[in-house]
Amino acid sequence: MTAEFDEDDRPLLEVEDLQIELMTEAGIVRAVDGVSFVIRHGETVTIIGESGSGKSTTAMGILRLLPPELAVLSGTARFQGVDVIADPRAVRKVRGRTVSLIPQDPMTALSPVHTIGQQLREAVRLRHRGLSRAETVSRSVDLLARMHIPDPASQLGKYPHQLSGGMLQRVLIAIALAGSPVLLVADEPTSALDVTVQAGILGLLLEVQENTGIGILMITHDIGVARLVSDRIHVMKDGRFVESGEAEQIVNAPRDPYTRKLLTAVPRLGPWDEDGESPDAPIALGEPR
């Protein structure tokens, strides 16, 4: 094995034996206990689990967004070869450039006193320093247009409270893509949204992936979401992966009893019903906006 990798062959993210211990009032809790996974170009890897399983802690941990005085990390997490666990400062090189985060609740994820345009232009300028103001604006408008946001130029002057949750999530995806990252970490990106809006956001993520080949780490508790977007699924419980495999296999032939339990917790697939809660319903709706 040589040290010289072809850039494109390197995995976007390689996590090995990641452990995260959190200081809580009840003492030290091992929230993540030795998980390993790999994400390559164009892949979507999903970590699915109940709340408290450690899935979001994994995502926040590899981005070094857990408060350093409250979380102790060990193992490795390499973004295109840059290990952010051994050297916490290295994460500055990858944030926004190699990897971007799509948050759980779009309503609180943008600064309420700055316009959409200010926050989007700032993200564009971080990566592309030499751009003039006009170029930055046109790139911002372009990004919003790619997110199918109607009348993108006029949205730049708006404040977050003037947009709906679904629109804000599109804006946040645009901001996440502003630095042209190769990997997105989507932490429950649709849980705070209406069912009808969820499908649009998931569809958008898949479209972005198709166009750019971006890798996605999807964190979700929703097997419907996981089944729709994933190449591989890791089922997480109490800080460990209890089962890992191709999406097909996990959904259709789960081996672990916990995975089976998780699958049966989903309402049965059926014809369209009044409450529209069957897992395929959002998919059938397509682009609602």
Partner 1 sequence: MVRYVAQRVGQSILAIFLTVSTVFVLVRLAPGDPAAAYASPLATTAELDRIRAQFGLDKPLIQQYGIFVQDLFHGNLGTSFSFQASALDVVLSRMPYTIMLAVSAILFAAVVAIPAGVWMARHADTARELGANVAMIAGQSMPEFWSGIMLLTVFAVLVPVLPASGFTSWAGLVLPTVTVGILQIALISRLVRREMGAGFAAPYLTIARSRGIPERGLTWRYAMGNSAVPVVTALGTRFAAMLNGVVVVEVVFAWPGVGSLVVRALETRDYPLIQATVLVTAVLTVLVQLLIDLTYPLLDPRVRLGKAVAS
Distance of alpha carbon 131 from alpha carbon 136, whole angstroms: 6
Structural Rg of the chain based on CA atoms: 19
Q: How far is the CB of 280 from partner 1 (least distance, A)?
A: 31
Read out DSSP for 207-260?
A: HHHHHH--EEEEEES-HHHHHHH-SEEEEEETTEEEEEEEHHHHHHS--SHHHH
Q: How far is the CB of 115 from partner 1 (least distance, A)?
A: 8
Nearer to partner 1, 95 or 170 (CB): 95
Please report, as ranges, the residues that interact with partner 1 according to CB under 8 A.
63, 65, 92, 95-97, 100-101, 103, 105, 108-115, 119, 122-123, 126, 159, 161, 172, 175-176, 178-179
Nearer to partner 1, 80 or 259 (CB): 80
- φ, ψ at 202 (rounded to 5°): -65, -40
Q: How far is the CB of 55 from partner 1 (least distance, A)?
A: 17
Quick check: 201 and 174 in contact, CB under 8 A?
no
Q: How far is the CB of 228 from partner 1 (least distance, A)?
A: 24
Nearer to partner 1, 20 or 199 (CB): 20
Q: How far is the CB of 191 from partner 1 (least distance, A)?
A: 14
Quick check: 232 and 247 in contact, CB under 8 A?
yes
Q: How far is the CB of 206 from partner 1 (least distance, A)?
A: 22
Distance of alpha carbon 28 from alpha carbon 20, whole angstroms: 10
Nearer to partner 1, 83 or 122 (CB): 122
Nearer to partner 1, 68 or 271 (CB): 68
Give the pair of three-digit tokens for residue 142.
Answer: 């372009």
Nearer to partner 1, 104 or 278 (CB): 104
Give the pair of three-digit tokens for residue 131.
Answer: 């751009």
Distance of alpha carbon 288 from alpha carbon 48, whole angstroms: 25
**What is the 3-state composition of the chain as percent helix, strand, coil, each rounded to the nearest 5?**
40, 25, 35
